[in-house]
Structure 1
């Protein structure tokens, strides 16, 4: 009878506390009508004019709750890393049930009680705990649906942007080229972290069960360059290319995997008004040679690995004059190619740094070509798509609207970059992340998670270290994440698995109701 009574109470608690009606004021902008509140519960959606006010406590009341209840909230969401982030698209109750037997009534009671208690505790503390010193941190999350009932809609204008000059979408709408977008970002975020990478500690050869040997990486923690550092690199790369005789509107091939140097070189080419020819590094030799010949490029910037692979092919291209490779620390120098000027990015920077010759930047116009983006060649020879700066800006503005809706926050949000930069989606996502002050950590599909095949034993995955809040995703990657989550779930207790299921169900409910996840650590 005690269990029956507890179950009835906790079920009511889960329904009324874990899934409360939520009042979300739409943000009022100057010159617009008063905000509305959208009241959403499990059965109805009602829109009614209402002005949200503080309920007897300043914003800091909720902030202190964040700090004090963070540990308990993390417990319910960190049972499995990244579970809630991908729950709306990759996890479902059915998939979880396939990995376990039906939970006992007692397990269900404990799980409901735990989840209900965490949510009730956090909700109560957000209302009643006050700490004036914590107010600024709270301001960055005023639009989350669990916070908004207690916040004035007009508070967003002064709290979300740190200064009046930080209005990324407005700057994007006024920009005339991609080079101007990057300059605006540097001016806004100068000393703050911009792009990061993981240095290679060692390369380990591991023999598989079939006697095949795979090279796996031991990687260090992420190291970040500031916006000012990246801007200096961009300036040096641009000057170095001009010293080689490359002129504005002259095509330059960028052939490499997604990495920090790719973005730096791309920004240098934008600034010097040199169209970027993007080719997938996974293309066959014939496809790569076809792209270089068709664009009549005299300069190729690539990696040392691809240089070794395409050594003979490059030698057979008479119009190709300069080959610049991205060096590897402690690696041997690549073989020389007859008739070609072969140099590393380090040498390009060094020559530019110590040169007394100065070159004036050539600002591109909106109708200048920004990128010649080649397709993957799945239906024949790769085809070039011409994208002007106007095209790129239009795509970025559309994505910027999504960033605004997601309330992307400078400094707090982190973007993980692993999709090919030769594709316009990844390129635009990274450009928007830079403009919004979101630091970018570079990764790859082979090092993304702890169980990724490219990592040596006892090496943590990129997601584990970076803890990204934003990523671009494709179904193949989401399937890998789902598999990893389900494998970890199978090793947990029945109570832990049940709490995960409840979190998944709640996330799906919120997604169907049109609500963004309230967790500050959710991957968007």
Structure 2
């Protein structure tokens, strides 16, 4: 299609705009340019095509109505999540990347950070360690713990060495974990001491597992397994050391290669696995960058489950932009304390939590007294007006 025809079609499409309401998830960030664009044109457009059956319309994002987005417009060479992280390590090597709150004398303190370069080194050591233990390219690797730096490091290692990451819900019982491990033929599982016992309880029923890596475990406290099980268990620090002593070159995936199998929680029957390629993840995030921009100066808080694809996609976005990612303590009841310590500039959430936050704030305002309530409402309305008119 030539440019003149494309422009004519674009004008026609813009005459059939539809404003869509995304009720599943959202990003709380002030972006005047994207916001004005959405207000003027709506979020999606109706294309002239009709489906073969039914009277359904075909919709596409108003930011790219004439073609699907498959790569980052500014970096079309990025075709996999491995490419994405390699560029981030090269570009943002000394920038803060992964942060956790450190404990001093039993008290949770400030955030301690790992740089992109340090995370890149750990990624190589983890991947090399898996190869050292005979885990072959294309194998499925289970992640059985909540958000923390090691989750993303292991995921980056999977991308760099063409393994397939398989998140395991930390909140599910042994039956669901057993089902997912067997269904995906998981060969290695990364867990924490809190989930180790659950995994060991069904070990005899997951014959594909050959290696268990305990994050946060202490070498002399790791239980020994009978040699007849065919399963080796070791600490994450030991795996890093072994990988460091036996470094292996990357085995980069192709865009069409499987990056992850993301399972449902199994609330309606057995869990269902969505098989997603590297190209799928890159295309999804590349499309989002048309309307949302992040920067290396931004700070993101990670608390939404990494077992869900929404948080996984957000992490691809943070890597692309060189954003610092601080992790919550693992307890949603302490999230507000983590927010106060981290002071993130990017907060991604879902409607249920936004409603909870809104209810908490409005309740506190109502009970604070007449003057404070009027001051709060005045400040809130002024801020809202400033954002709409920016």
Interval of TM-score (by shorter of Structure 1 and Structure 2): 0.7 to 0.9
State the Cα distance separating 1:236 from its structure 2 match. 0.6
Task: Work out which of the two has the higher radius of gyration on C-alpha atoms and give 1 or 2.
Answer: 1
1:19-61: per-residue Cα shift (whole Å, max 9, x none)? xxxxxxxxxxxxxxxxxxxxxxxxxxxxxxxxxxxxxxxxxxx
In 2, Cα distance between equivalents of 1:488 and 1:386: 44
Matched, 1:244 2:147: no
Matched, 1:354 2:240: no
Q: CA 1:429 to 1:372, structure 2 compared with 1: closer, same or farther past 3 Å? A: same
Q: Which residue of 1 aligns with 2:101?
A: 198
Q: Which residue of 1 aligns with 2:81?
A: 178
Q: Which residue of 2 aligns with 1:232?
A: 121
Bigger share in strand: 2
* Structure 1 contact 252–297 (Cα < 8 Å) conserved: yes
State how 1:3-82 maps to structure 2 within 5 Å: none
State how 1:112-127 maps to structure 2 within 5 Å: none
Q: Which residue of 1 aligns with 2:232?
A: 341
Matched, 1:289 2:178: yes
Q: Which residue of 1 aligns with 2:344?
A: 468
Matched, 1:409 2:312: no
Q: Which residue of 2 aligns with 1:418?
A: 303
Matched, 1:446 2:332: yes
SS, match of residue 292 in structure 2: helix
* Structure 1 contact 173–397 (Cα < 8 Å) conserved: no
Paired positions, count: 325
* Structure 1 contact 172–181 (Cα < 8 Å) conserved: no
Q: CA 1:302 to 1:87, structure 2 compared with 1: closer, same or farther past 3 Å? A: closer
In 2, Cα distance between equivalents of 1:479 and 1:86: 13
Which of 312, 326, 339 lines up with 1:427 in the alignment? 312
Q: Which residue of 1 aligns with 2:280?
A: 391
SS, match of residue 501 in structure 1: helix
In 1, Cα distance between equivalents of 2:333 and 2:110: 13
Q: CA 1:502 to 1:367, structure 2 compared with 1: closer, same or farther past 3 Å? A: same
SS, match of residue 221 in structure 1: strand
In 2, Cα distance between equivalents of 1:281 and 1:375: 13
State the Cα distance separating 1:228 from its structure 2 match. 0.7
* Structure 1 contact 373–423 (Cα < 8 Å) conserved: yes
In 2, Cα distance between equivalents of 1:196 and 1:415: 10
State the Cα distance separating 1:509 from its structure 2 match. 4.8
Q: Which residue of 2 aligns with 1:161?
A: none
In 2, Cα distance between equivalents of 1:144 and 1:375: 32
In 2, Cα distance between equivalents of 1:334 and 1:469: 39
RMSD between superposed Cα atoms in Å: 2.8
Q: Which residue of 1 aligns with 2:109?
A: 220
State the Cα distance separating 1:484 from its structure 2 match. 3.5
Which of 237, 257, 265 lines up with 1:376 in the alignment? 265
In 1, Cα distance between equivalents of 2:222 and 2:365: 47
State the Cα distance separating 1:471 from its structure 2 match. 1.6
Q: CA 1:236 to 1:385, structure 2 compared with 1: closer, same or farther past 3 Å? A: same
Q: Which residue of 2 aligns with 1:266?
A: 155
State the Cα distance separating 1:302 from its structure 2 match. 1.3
